[in-house]
Amino acid sequence: MTWLPLSQLNETEHSWRIQGDTVQFGGTGTYRKLRGCDPATFEVFAEPGCLIARDRNHVYHGADLLSAVQRDSFTHLGEGYWRDADAIYCEYETALRPLKGSDTATFRHLGEGYAADRTQAYYGGSKIQSANPLALRLLHGLYAADGDTVFFDGKPLKGSDPQTWREAAGEAGKHSFSHDAKHVYYCERKLPRADAATWQHLHDTFSKDSKHVYKTNRILTDANPAEWDTAKAATHAAEEAARRAENSDKMSELLKNLWQNGQTE
C-alpha cells in the first residue's frame, strides 16, 4: 500500500476531511481538528482499517499528532508494525504505541502478527514471554515456532514438538486442529489423553481417537468412539447450530419486548 491524498480516495474509505484550512478526523463520530496539520500536503496510508496519516511535518493516528515519531524516517514494516530511526511501533485499535525495549537494528516482521528482534518475540505488538526470538519463524496462518515450541495466535502449544508438529490436513486444519507425534491440539489447547496415532477429525470441531470423542478440546464423557463417524458428528453439529439459532431468536424477542415495554411505560 502507499500514501495517498484524500482526493484520490473514496469518502467511504477513510474518516478524514478537509474543511477550509484544517484537516479533521471523524472516526469517533464527532470531527476533531488535527493540530498543526497542513491540508496541502496531507495524505493517508491507504490500507483498510489503518488510521495512520501524515503531512509534510508530522505523523498522525486518527486526530492525534504523534510528536515523538520522526516523520521522514517513518516507514511501514507490515501489518500493524512501523518504525522510524529510533523506535519500533505497533498500531492498536486506538493508538500507535512504541514497542518498549525493541531493537530497531535487528527487528524483523515475520507475518500474521508475529515479529522478533534479538531479545524479544512479539505477537500483535504484545511480547511472547516464552519464545526464543532468534529462532522464531512463521509456519502457516496463526502458527509459528521456535526451536522448542509451536505457537498458535501467539500462545504456546504446551508440550509441542516443532520437529514432528503438523497442522491437520483438510477440514481439520481449517478448524484449527494440529498434532505432533504425541499430542493433539485444538487452537493452543491440548486434547486431554488424546492418542495422536489414532486421532481423526470427524466434522466441524468434533474429533475422536480410539478411546474418546472430543468437542473442541473437551472429552464427551458419554460418547463411544466406535459409534461416532462423520455423519453422526455432522448431525450433532447441525443440532447445536439449530439450538443456537433458536436461543438467539428467543433472546432477540425478549430484548424487543423489554424495549417496547420500556417505551410504553
Determine the Cα–Cα distance for residues 89 and 107; give it in Å rounded to an integer: 11
Per-residue pLDDT tens over the stretch 7-29? 999 888 899 999 999 999 998 78
Positive or negative CA dihedral for 118, 123, 124, 126?
negative
DSSP 153: T
Res. 263: pLDDT tops 70: no
Torsion angle (degrees, nearest 10) of CA 193, 182, 208, 220 = 20
Whose CA is closest to 151, among 198, 191, 113? 113
| Number of helical (H) and strand (E) elements in the chain, helices listed first | 2, 28
Model pLDDT, residue 160:
98
Positive or negative CA dihedral for 64, 65, 68, 73?
positive
3-state secondary structure of 187: coil
Model pLDDT, residue 265:
57
Model pLDDT, residue 144:
98
Determine the Cα–Cα distance for residues 221 and 89; give it in Å rounded to an integer: 47
DSSP string, 108-152: EEEETTEEE-SS-EEETTEE-TTS-TTT-EEEETTEEE-SS-EEE
Determine the Cα–Cα distance for residues 85 and 74; give it in Å rounded to an integer: 7
Band (pLDDT 50/70/90 cuts) for residue 264 is low
18-27, 108-117, 159-168, 252-261: which range is least confident on average?
252-261
Per-residue pLDDT tens over the stretch 39-54? 999 999 999 889 999 9
Model pLDDT, residue 260:
80
Computed over every residue of the chain, the mean pLDDT equals 95
User: What is the H or E stretch that residue 230 is in?
Assistant: helix 230-264
Determine the Cα–Cα distance for residues 109 and 258; give it in Å rounded to an integer: 50
- Give residue for cell 433458536: 246
Per-residue pLDDT tens over the stretch 126-181? 999 999 999 999 999 999 999 999 999 999 999 999 999 999 999 999 999 999 99
Q: And the C-alpha cell for 183?
A: 499430542
Model pLDDT, residue 94:
86
3-state secondary structure of 6: helix
